[in-house]
Amino acid sequence: MDYILADVLGYCMGVRKAMEKAVDAASLNPGKKIYSAGPLIHNPNALKKLENLGIGILKTDTELENSIVIIRAHGIPPEEKKRLSCSGAELVDATCPRVLSSQRLAEKYYKEGYQVFLAGDKNHGEIEGLAGFAPGCIVLENPGDAENLNQIPEKSVLIGQTTIKDDEYQAIAGKLKSKNPGIIICNTLCPAAGKRQAALADLAQKVEGIIVVGGRNSANTKRLFYSASALVKKAWHIENPEEIPPEVFELDKVGITAGASTPDEDIEKVMEYLGSGIKG
């Protein structure tokens, strides 16, 4: 059995920078209490690494004076950031630059009197953060949500979660345009997410099955798995190599891809596991 890596996999730019900022904060401030405002990224192994460095996840009753709080890669609502700024804590902003750009757009259009529509998962940290910049915004999780809208104000704008699949975003945009041709459609999707999906499609042409490595609570990793499941007959979503089933070793060629929040070492461990021939 041979394995082939996708051309694009693992940490995206925003996640890598967030992890670097967190590691730097820990190394430069030994003995100081450090927290992240929510999970820094959506990967259990990465969060365990941060925990081992002394970085905990912020709780509502945590005393923050003289501590450091790292803002998660997905961003946070402005009200929460203001509260943290007034708490006596030093803030380290690890928000993905692309998410910051989306936040600025949401705030701009809200202040100009636009009805803001957000396309994405309403329970995702990025969407929750964006919503804080545009009170009264409407979250659309799928084209059906857009179809069910009775009317759309003349001054309306659509902003997408950076990791939403392009075809999903275009489908939602199309439904809105059919109701209001003048709606502004913002190009907020992360190019890396599209490249990751394209690399997966290319990989699927070369293998019999695909292993998707990443956290089960990672939205973009789950999207990769759904796509892989549609592209090949066999696909598996794993967090650790021990979860690889024996049937993988019965294939001639298996592909490996990984979500944007999957550490390099997680991918390397899967490669080592497959190379060892261990079948569980």
Asked whether the beta carbons of 200 and 231 are under 8 A apart, the reply is: yes
Confirm whether residue 12 is marked as ligand binding. Answer: yes
**Would the annotation count 96 as a binding residue?**
yes
Q: At what angle do helices 219-231 and 191-204 cross, to 10 degrees?
A: 30
95 close to 74: Cβ distance less than 8 angstroms: yes
Catalytic, out of 126, 128, 168, 239: 126
Report CA 257 to chain centroid distance, whole Å: 15
Q: Is 237 annotated as a binding residue?
A: no
Distance CA 23, CA 65 (A): 21
The verdict on whether residue 74 carries a ligand-binding annotation is yes
Cα–Cα distance, 59 to 73 (Å, whole number): 18
Sheet holding 34-37, edge to edge: 55-57, 34-37, 68-71, 90-93
The response to whether 190 counts as a known ligand-binding position is yes
162 marked among binding-site residues: yes
Instruction: Reply yes or no on whether 126 is catalytic.
Output: yes
What stretch of H or E contains 220? helix 219-231
- How many Cβ atoms are within 10 Å of 78's Cβ, its own excluded? 13
C-alpha–C-alpha distance, residues 136 and 107, integer Å: 12
User: Which secondary-structure segment (H or E) carries 23?
Assistant: helix 13-28
Annotated binding-site residues for [4Fe-4S] cluster read 12, 96, 190
- Which residues belong to the active site? 126
Annotated binding-site residues read 12, 42, 74, 96, 124, 162, 190, 218, 220, 261
Annotated binding-site residues for dimethylallyl diphosphate read 42, 74, 124, 218, 220, 261
